[in-house]
Amino acid sequence: MTDTTGAVYDLGYEPYEGERRGRSGARRTIIADGIRRVLGLRRKARRKVLPWGLVIIAVIPAVVAVGLAFFIPGGTTDNLDIASEYGSFYVLGGTIVLLFSALAAPELLIPDRRDGVLSMLSSRPLTSNDYVASRFASVVIVVAAFLLFPQLVLYIGEAGTYADGIFAGFVDAAHKIPKSIAVGAVYTIALVPLAFFVAGLSKRKAIASSVYIASMLALSIIAEALVKEADFAGNQWFALIAPFDTANSVNLWIFDAPDPESLLTVGDIHPLVGLASLIVIASVCVYIVLRRYRKLL
């Protein structure tokens, strides 16, 4: 005798009745996930080594310089004039951002494509632009910390060694704040979109990282050879093909410490033209990545 009736049993499942955070919530989640991923948070210890190692390399020189300035008798010396060091510490910071972007951009973009997670994300209240912008925001937030924290240390250090007291120092050095933020933005524009561009088109993280670093290195060296050694009409404009060098030049110009050996100076190109070229390159990179993800999501 077969039983033809059916039954549905209540196992206690209930529909979700809580808050639905919508598109902004989805964006915030992607940003938080991105920050965790690039810093290796909630992951194995070895995933933290490289990013936090870079953080330490970025921060320690500023801390050491300020420490030395405080403890060497007789106040500041020419070698430890913190007021003039913002630009040169930013050059180090820029190098660290380059390496960090090489790690972070592939880490954020490639696994989602490779593991098929994008199809899951596309069923969420998230557009392709939201996704790319959120991933970008994760990197920018961490990069901003990289770049601005050493500058903050220098700012406090400069104020702390001020002859008229720390509060007077804070006021007197306050003009460095908008400069620091501006230069941070310059390095971010110069380095991060390019890293996203390479990661957006690569299938493997290691290849994306290496192509990015190798390209930045190669562009710097090639630009240097063409600007300083070559002698043909228009060779100076090759200075603009090296985003890292351009960012360094703009950085030092903003802090009133231009480098006479920089490619822009040798090529007699105004730093604002350099800045404009960085914005153009960044815009093209961002456009290409957005277009690619419009097809994927």
- 88 is an interface residue for other proteins by CB under 8 A: no
Among 29, 88, 210, 236, binds other proteins (CB under 8 A): 210
Cβ closer to other proteins: 85 or 224?
Answer: 224
Q: Closest distance between other proteins and the C-beta of residue 75, in Å?
A: 26
Give Rg (Cα) of the chain. 24
- 198 is an interface residue for other proteins by CB under 8 A: no
- List all residues 6 or more positions away from 109 whose beta carbon is below 8 Å from its beta carbon: 135, 196, 199, 200
Cβ closer to other proteins: 88 or 127?
Answer: 88
How many C-beta atoms surround the C-beta of residue 179 within 10 A? Answer: 17
Cβ closer to other proteins: 71 or 232?
Answer: 232
Cα–Cα distances (Å) from 149 to 64, 136, 172, in that order, read: 14, 20, 19
Among 64, 166, 168, 217, binds other proteins (CB under 8 A): 217
Q: Closest distance between other proteins and the C-beta of residue 225, in Å?
A: 5
> What distance in Å separates the CA atoms of residue 232 and residue 226, rounded to the nearest whole number?
9
Amino acid at the residue 155: Y
- 110 is an interface residue for other proteins by CB under 8 A: no
Nearest to 190 by CA among 135, 153, 147: 147
- 143 is an interface residue for other proteins by CB under 8 A: no
Cβ closer to other proteins: 180 or 202?
Answer: 202
> What distance in Å separates the CA atoms of residue 30 and residue 135, rounded to the nearest whole number?
7
- List all residues 6 or more positions away from 103 whose beta carbon is below 8 Å from its beta carbon: 38, 50, 51, 54, 209
Tell me the CB-side half-sphere exposure of residue 281, using CA atoms within 13 A: 25
- 209 is an interface residue for other proteins by CB under 8 A: yes
- 236 is an interface residue for other proteins by CB under 8 A: no
- 56 is an interface residue for other proteins by CB under 8 A: no
Residues forming contacts to other proteins in the complex (CB under 8 A) are 1, 50, 95, 98-99, 102-103, 205-207, 209-210, 213-214, 217-218, 221-222, 224-226, 229-232, 235
